[in-house]
C-alpha cells in the first residue's frame, strides 16, 4: 500500500518521540556553538522533512533562492547540507573532495549487505579503491570499450528491430521499455558474454524484473533513514521487500558465476575474457587493507550494480531527449540533417562518427543539463569535522549536491529553462567533472566510473534512433501539451512514460537494423 511521504513520517513520530527528544536535545546543544549554514527553521522531532516536498530537488532549489547556495537542514536525526551553485560544487570537489568522499547508506541499501560490496554506495577505503581501479583499468578504458563496440551495435540493432516490429503490430509503443532491454543486454554482453532479455521470451526476465524492483525500493523515501530508532521495525517494509528482490537477483547472478567457474575449470570457454573473468582472476596486493581476491558475493553485487546504473541512466536520458526533440521539432530537423550529412542515408551510425556529430553531442548535453539522471547525485558524507565556505560542518553530515538546480541557474546559463542545444556549439563545457556548472555525473573521487561507456551509449543510441525513424506522438497529444512531470526514484524519470508512433526514415533496403 502506498503512503505519502508526509504520512509515513508522521507514522514514525509516535514511535520515536521519547528517545529522540533526548538525543535531539543533546545534538542541538552541541551544534548550537557552531556556525552552521543558514536554513529554514525546523519542527520538533521531524526537523525539515516537510521542506523536502514531493520532488526534493525542486523544493531544495527553491530554498536556495531564499537562503543561498549552501543550506542547512535537519532531516529527522540526519544533519544535511545542500549545495546549489557551481561555486559551492567547485569548493567541494577542489578543496574537500576526500573529506566529503563518504557515503550515507540508506536502510534499503543495507539489504543483503549490498552496501558492503558496492562501489557506488560503499565507504571510501581500500576495498572501494580496489573496485574503482578494476573498473578504470579493466572495463572502462577506451581500448576495452573499443573492443566491445560490435556488441553495442548488435544490441542497438536488435532494439530498433524490436521497436519497428512492435510499432507495426501496436501502432504506438512505449519507448522506455525497449531502451531498458537494450541497455540491459549491452551490460550482459560486456559482463557475461550473452544476451539475457528480449520482448518475446522470458529468458533473463526474472533477473531483469528483480533488478527493476530493487531500483523501485531503493528510490522510495524511508522513514527509518531519518529516524534510526525505527530501523528494527522497518515500518514501510522497504528493507524487507528490498531483501527479497536483491536476494532473487543475487541468486540469479550467482548461478552465472558458478557456471563460469565450472566452465573455466573444464576449459570450455570459447569467447574473449569478459568482466566476469576479470573479477574472477583478480588478485589483490593484500597491502593497506586490500583483500587477496573478490568474494563471490561481492562479484554478484558488482554485477547487479553495473546492470542497475547503466540501464536506469541510459533509459531515463534517452526518454527525456526524445521528449525534448518532439517538443522542439526544429532541433529534431537540425539533428536529422547533421546525421544525413555526416553519416549518410545509406549506412547506420557508428561510434567513429560521434566526434564529428557536434549537434548530436550538444543535444545530449542540453538534455543532461535540464534532466540530470540523479538530480541530487548520490549523497556524500563528511568523514570528519570540516570548515566549508566559512561554515562548520560536523562529521557524518549528509551532503546533497543539487545538480538539477545548478543546471537551471541563470547565473550560469542564458535562458536556462529553454531547450537550446546551440548553447554548447561554441562552448568547451563538458560533463567530465571539470566544469562545475555542468556535472550530471558528479566530479572528483566519487564521479560516475562508467562515464566513458555512458558517453558512447547515449550518443550511439540516440543517433541510431533519430537516424532510423521519423517520430510522432499519439493523435490525441500535441507537443505543446506534453506531460513533463517528473517521477523520482533512483533516477529522475518521466512520470508519464513516453509513447511514440514510428515511421521508417531511411529506405528499408538501407536500414540494416530492420532487415
**Closest among 393, 399, 400 to 31, alpha carbons compared:** 393
CA distance 54 to 50: 9
Q: Which residues pair with 501 in a beta bridge?
A: 172, 472
On whether 448 is known to bind a ligand per the annotation, the reply is: yes
CA distance 22 to 18: 7
CA distance 253 to 470: 38
Using DSSP's 3-state secondary structure scheme, residue 2 falls into coil
Radius of gyration of the chain (CA): 23
Residue 21 φ/ψ region, left for φ over 0, alpha for ψ in the -120 to 50 degree band, beta for the rest: alpha
CA distance 284 to 92: 31
Residue 85, classified by CB atoms within 10 Å of its CB into exposed (0-12), middle (13-18) or buried (19+), is buried
CA distance 461 to 156: 7
Contacts of 390 (CB under 8 A, 6+ apart): 35
Largest CA distance in the chain: 74
Q: Can you read off the three cell numbers belonging to residue 204? A: 533473463
Residue list, annotated binding site for heme: 448
Residue list, annotated binding site: 448
Amino acid at each position: 500500500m502506498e503512503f505519502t511521504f508526509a504520512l509515513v513520517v508522521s507514522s514514525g513520530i509516535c514511535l520515536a518521540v521519547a528517545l529522540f527528544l533526548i538525543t535531539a536535545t543533546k545534538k542541538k546543544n552541541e551544534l548550537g556553538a557552531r556556525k552552521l549554514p543558514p536554513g529554514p527553521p525546523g519542527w520538533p522531532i521531524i526537523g525539515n522533512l516537510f521542506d523536502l516536498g514531493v520532488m526534493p530537488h525542486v523544493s531544495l532549489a527553491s530554498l536556495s533562492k531564499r537562503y543561498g547556495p549552501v543550506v542547512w537542514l535537519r532531516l529527522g536525526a540526519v544533519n544535511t547540507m545542500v549545495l546549489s551553485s557551481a561555486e559551492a560544487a567547485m569548493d567541494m570537489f577542489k578543496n574537500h573532495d576526500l573529506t566529503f568522499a563518504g557515503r550515507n547508506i540508506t536502510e534499503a541499501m543495507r539489504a543483503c549487505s549490498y552496501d558492503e560490496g558496492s562501489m557506488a554506495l560503499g565507504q571510501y577505503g581500500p576495498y572501494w579503491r580496489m573496485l574503482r581501479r578494476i573498473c578504470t583499468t579493466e572495463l572502462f578504458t577506451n581500448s576495452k570499450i573499443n573492443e566491445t563496440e560490435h556488441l553495442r551495435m548488435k544490441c542497438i540493432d536488435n532494439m530498433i528491430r524490436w521497436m519497428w516490429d512492435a510499432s507495426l503490430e501496436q501502432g504506438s509503443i512505449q519507448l522506455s521499455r525497449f531502451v531498458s532491454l537494450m541497455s540491459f543486454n549491452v551490460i550482459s554482453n560486456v559482463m557475461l558474454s550473452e544476451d539475457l532479455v528480449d520482448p518475446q521470451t522470458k529468458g533473463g526476465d526474472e533477473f531483469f524484473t528483480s533488478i527493476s524492483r530493487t531500483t523501485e525500493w531503493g528510490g522510495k523515501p524511508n522513514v527509518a533513514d531519518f529516524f534510526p530508532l525505527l530501523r528494527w521495525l522497518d515500518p514501510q517494509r522497504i528493507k524487507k521487500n528490498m531483501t527479497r528482490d536483491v536476494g532473487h537477483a543475487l541468486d540469479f547472478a550467482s548461478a552465472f558465476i558458478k557456471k563460469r567457474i565450472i566452465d573455466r575449470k573444464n576449459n570450455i570457454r570459447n569467447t574473449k575474457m569478459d568482466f566476469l573473468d576479470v573479477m574472477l582472476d583478480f588478485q589483490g596486493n593484500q597491502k593497506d587493507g586490500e583483500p587477496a581476491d573478490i568474494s563471490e558475493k561481492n562479484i554478484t553485487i558488482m554485477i547487479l550494480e553495473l546492470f542497475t546504473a547503466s540501464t536506469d541512466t541510459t533509459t531515463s536520458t534517452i526518454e527525456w531527449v526524445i521528449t525534448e526533440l518532439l517538443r522542439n521539432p526544429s532541433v529534431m530537423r537540425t539533428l536529422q540533417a547533421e546525421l544525413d550529412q555526416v553519416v549518410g542515408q545509406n549506412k547506420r551510425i557508428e561510434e567513429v562518427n560521434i566526434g564529428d556529430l557536434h549537434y548530436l553531442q550538444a543535444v545530449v548535453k542540453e538534455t543532461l543539463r535540464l534532466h540530470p539522471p540523479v538530480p541530487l547525485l548520490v549523497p556524500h558524507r563528511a568523514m570528519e569535522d570540516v570548515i566549508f565556505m566559512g561554515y562548520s560542518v560536523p562529521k557524518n553530515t549528509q551532503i546533497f549536491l543539487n545538480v538539477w538546480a545548478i543546471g537551471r541557474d541563470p547565473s550560469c546559463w542564458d535562458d536556462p529553462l529553454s531547450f537550446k542545444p546551440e548553447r554548447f556549439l561554441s562552448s568547451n563545457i563538458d560533463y567530465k567533472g571539470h566544469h562545475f556548472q555542468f556535472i550530471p555525473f558528479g566530479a572528483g573521487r566519487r564521479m560516475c566510473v562508467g562515464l566513458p561507456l555512458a558517453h558512447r551509449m547515449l550518443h550511439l543510441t540516440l543517433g541510431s534512433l533519430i537516424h532510423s525513424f521519423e517520430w510522432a506522438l499519439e493523435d490525441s497529444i500535441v507537443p505543446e501539451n506534453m506531460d513533463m512531470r517528473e517521477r523520482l526514484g533512483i533516477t529522475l524519470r518521466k512520470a508519464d512514460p513516453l509513447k511514440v508512433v514510428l515511421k521508417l526514415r531511411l529506405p528499408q533496403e538501407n536500414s540494416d537494423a530492420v532487415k
